[in-house]
Amino acid sequence: MAVLDLFSLQGKTAIVTGGGRGLGAQIARGFAEAGANVVVCSRKVDSCIEMSEELETLGVKSMGLACDVANEEDVKKVVEDTMKEFGQIDILVNNSGATWGASTIDMPVEAFQKVLNVNTTGTFIMSKEVGKVMIKQNSGKIINIASVAGLGGTHPDFMETIGYNSSKGAVITLTKDLAAKWGQHNINVNAIAPGFFPTKMSNVTIENGRDYILAGTPLNRLGNEEDLKGVAVFLASKASDYMTGDVLVVDGGMSSQI
């Protein structure tokens, strides 16, 4: 197979949670540009429907669906509707996320639990339900969106987000454990750990710490609208068939420095 063909997603069907905006939208566009039909879902269904209409202008089929990833019934409905429309699920991107900023001693337990419920439990529920389909197919690619914040601690003057950091560390371990358990079913499970990309969720952190971020980033810039989708297409395609349980860091080199 020619090398460019290894990256084609023609004939594939993908689900991208939180796909209506931000990093999820960038990934959804990348998949559509590579030929995949894409289902985008989140609690904000209007943005998903709008994104779905945009993706269809690229010549693929798409659906925008409502889904709270921490709600099992919502997740089951998305899987059911996707199967009804496309008959297969080849790719899942667990991108939906939440955060909460407060010092550790002031962090409400309810807020900590809410962040873990979306970021970690939601990733588990979505993987579990889509995994049932992929196991029957004996094939599939799951991509979990972690974060460089899940690789270690962050200075309190920069990020007071212990719930978010903890949840993304858990996503990394969840990724590795699913990879170990589902490799026998020909399912690849990998994660992407982005650095700082301007999104609605990260804008406050970036605004308050831009100089700190850029000083600690060898490439001396933030992530842009093109920096993540190629990595996601790689992990979704045949080009990454011998990779599982790995975490690809996309942070401009920030985590390479001691």
Q: What are phi and psi of 95, to 5 degrees?
A: -115, -25
* Secondary structure class of 213 (helix, strand, coil): helix
Find the catalytic residue in 31, 164, 182, 234: 164
* 242 has catalytic annotation: no
Query: In angstroms, how far is the first alpha carbon of the chain from the final one?
Result: 41
CA distances from 211 to 59, 214, 258 (A): 41, 5, 18
The string of DSSP letters for 234-256 reads HHHSGGGTT--S-EEEESTTGGG
CA distances from 49 to 191, 195, 199, 200, 218 (A): 26, 28, 19, 18, 38
Between strands 187-194 and 247-250, the pairing is parallel
- 107 in Cβ contact with 100 (< 8 Å): yes
- 92 in Cβ contact with 127 (< 8 Å): yes
Instruction: Kindly state the helix (H) or strand (E) to which residue 187 belongs, with its residue range.
Output: strand 187-194
Token couple for 144: 């979990």
The catalytic residues are 164
